[in-house]
Structure 1
Amino acid sequence: MSDFILSCCSTADLTKEHFEEREISYICFHYEMDGKQYDDDLGQSMPFEEFYKAMANGAETKTSQINAEEFIAYFEGFLKQGKDILHVCLSSGITGVINSARIAKEELEERYPDRKILVLDSLAASSGYGLLMDRLADLRDEGKSIDEVCQWAEEHKLNLHHWFFSTDLTFYIKGGRISKASGFIGGVLNICPLLNVDNNGKLIPRFKIRTKKKVIRAIVDKMEEFADNGLDYSDKCYISQSGCYEDAREVANLVEARFPKLKGKVEINYVGTTIGSHTGPGTVALFFWGSKRIN
């Protein structure tokens, strides 16, 4: 039994069952839909299909991060059990939630001077963040200490690649990531932007690709370009999708065909309600280990 808790935010976008099986604890972000408050609790309060259908029908969403008081209550439960904590946060390039976690850490370290609380910036998001957590669980299960696991995460988190595309630009325009003019032209020309997460953990548009068929090929080409050992990649690959499973399945089929040494089948998850509130339906994201992200 490990002497520390491995923890993250619900925005790591794995299933409740996956978190439980790997003994990874999580704390939930929050979102609001048409004025009603919900926890981002991995589709428990509102099934993902229902969530994305509502967005497609015009429901208004907004999100709120976890505050310091919530982190204090969450962390303290583990500290009272005599456990140390390694908490990995959603990328600081997307949210300031790490600041709340650090405030909680400072306050609780005064109350529990014999306990260790480590707070780490993942510089990752969605099931890419989940892929990082899964690897950290492997290291913990191998008997690595909390400091060793934390150090490994700091040294290797930029080896985690996130590539994603969207076939619906509505919510990217709403959020200001794509201008209205560009969005209009993109819609007319059937452009599907290909984006990734940079070395600062921010979402960056990289390419404008015309037609869904071409962007699906392009995203798998990016995996071939950057993955460890190229076509001999032998690690795990995750995909997350926001109400467009068939598109995600098409990407997964291409990955499984092109990378025969893949560790198991591609795991397809939902983009959770926090990140999905900003992407809307129609986004597919591909995550894998590869060369270090340098820009």
Structure 2
Amino acid sequence: MTYRLIGDSCTDLDDNLKKDENISIVPLTLEIGDYSVIDDDKFDQKDFIRRMARSKAGAKSACPSPEAFKEAMECDVDMVFVVTLSEHLSGSYQSAEIGKKLFEEEHDHKDILVLSSKSASAGQYRLMLELDKLCKQGLGFAEISKRITKLRDEMKTYFVIETLDTLRKNGRLSAVTAFIASALNIKPIMGATDGVIIKKDQQRGMQKALAKMVEIAVEEAGDNANDKTVCITHINNPERGEYVAKLFRESDKFKDIKIVNGAGVATMYAGDGGIVIAVG
């Protein structure tokens, strides 16, 4: 069966997936004060990081329009799978659902699944990897939908960011809390439950925080970790991404480990040097 895989632009991809003609990305728009940029293949990560650091205003995103998702669905294929940011982080999922309804009002029946990743970044990458594999195996729409939803529900997401300044600028963290964490070099280790961000632990210093994050991920992966893939998104710091991958390799528990650099939305959320991982 023919297929199309669609992600919003928080779906970080490796080079092979970027070249795949069956995959398309619907970009969000990123804003810092009066400045705005489309999160597409022309996105300049280093420039955006510099602008975030200089700005007193917090960076924010605008989700794609329903019409943009509808346009991406207008292709001559049998089935379409859409992966979006968690609905708790963005309106992208709701926009994609409306886009699906608009498409169905104007076109004959097509099998379309719109899936909130309940995650972001590396989590969306993990789901896209699996969808690519399942579609190439020639499975039907119902079976793929069942398997990818199960993976989504069982997948774990974690992240550690270099600075809490972005969260402070966005009003998600008090200035006092951010100052204390910065002064003490405290790095929170965050996770997600059903797409909602939660704090898992904290450590003093980035190296300790990353090591603790991997320790938590290995423990929570359980006895069937050898069936799971680890996806790592780094933000402008390949050495740090490789360090985290090395820690996972040393556990000798996982089927595969993938590393990618984050695109614009991940850069906005995780900031320069941030690390996001998904295990599933």
Normalised by the length of structure 1, the TM-score is 0.85
| CA positional deviation for 1:165 | 0.8
Alignment check: 8 A CA contact 2:123 2:231 kept: yes
Who is 1:64 aligned against? 62
Distance verdict in 2 for CA 1:48–1:15, change over 3 Å:
farther
Q: Which of the numbers 258, 261, 272 marks the counterpart of 1:281?
A: 272
CA distance in 2, matches of 1:31, 1:104: 21
Q: Which amino acid aligns with 1:70?
A: A
In the alignment of these two chains, the number of paired residues is 279
CA–CA distance in structure 2, aligned partners of residues 187 and 224 of structure 1? 28
Partners of 2:22 and 2:77 lie apart in 1 by 17
Q: Which residue of 1 aligns with 2:71?
A: 73
Is contact 2:26-2:72 (8 Å) kept? Answer: yes
Q: 1:59 to 1:137 in 2, by over 3 A?
A: farther
The worse-fitting range, judged by mean Cα deviation, of 140-149 and 107-116 is 107-116
Name the residue aligned to 2:11: 12
Q: Give, as a single letter, the amino acid of the residue that structure 2 aligns with 1:69.
A: E
Q: Which moved more, 1:58-67 or 1:173-182?
A: 58-67
| 8 Å CA contact retained: 1:127, 1:239 | yes
Alignment match of 1:49 (pick from 46, 50, 53): 46
Mapped partners of 2:172, 2:39: distance in 1: 23
Tell me: CA distance 1:228–1:197, structure 2 relative to 1, closer, same or farther (3 Å).
same
Residue in 2 aligned with 1:206?
A: 200
Q: Partners of 1:171 and 1:122 in 2: how far apart?
A: 23
1:111-130 equivalent positions in 2, closer than 5 A: 111-130=106-125
Gaps of 5+ in 2: none
1:247 aligns with 2:240: yes
Please state how far the C-alpha of 1:96 moved relative to its aligned partner.
1.8
Secondary structure of the structure 1 residue equivalent to 2:80 = strand
Q: Secondary structure at the match of 2:103?
A: helix
Paired residue secondary structure (1:11) = coil
Q: Contact conserved, 1:219 with 1:286, CA < 8 A, in 2?
A: no
Give percent identity, aligned residues only: 25
Moved more, 105-114 or 13-22: 13-22
- For residues 37 and 256 of structure 1, the distance between their equivalents in structure 2, rounded to whole angstroms, comes to 39
Q: Distance between the aligned counterparts of 2:245 and 2:214, measured in 1?
A: 9
Aligned AA for 1:242?
I
Alignment of 1:173-252 (within 5 A): 173-199=168-194, 201-229=195-223, 233-252=226-245
Superposed displacement of residue 67, structure 1: 1.0
Please report how far the alpha carbon of residue 218 of structure 1 lies from its aligned counterpart in structure 2 after TM superposition.
0.2
Deviates more, 1:26-35 or 1:15-24: 15-24
DSSP-derived class of the 1:94 partner: coil
Structure 1 segments unaligned to the other structure (5+ residues): 290-295
Equivalent in the alignment of 1:293:
none
Post-superposition shift, 1:58? 3.6
Give the equivalent residue in structure 2 for 1:96: 91
Question: In structure 1, the residue corresponding to 2:267 is in which secondary structure?
Answer: helix
Query: Counterpart amino acid of 1:162?
Result: T
Shift of 1:287: 1.6
Helix, strand or coil at the partner of 2:166: helix
Secondary structure at the aligned position of 1:46 is classed as: coil
CA separation of 1:125 and 1:73: change in aligned 2, threshold 3 A? same
Deviation at 1:208, TM superposition (A): 2.5
Runs of 4+ in 1 over 6 A off after TM superposition: none
DSSP-derived class of the 2:10 partner: helix
| 3-state SS, counterpart of residue 171 of structure 2 | coil
Equivalent residue, structure 2, for 1:267: 258
- What RMSD, in angstroms, separates the aligned Cα atoms of the two structures? 2.2
**Change over 3 Å in CA distance of 1:101–1:152 after alignment to 2:** same
Please state whether the residue corresponding to 1:229 is helix, strand or coil: helix
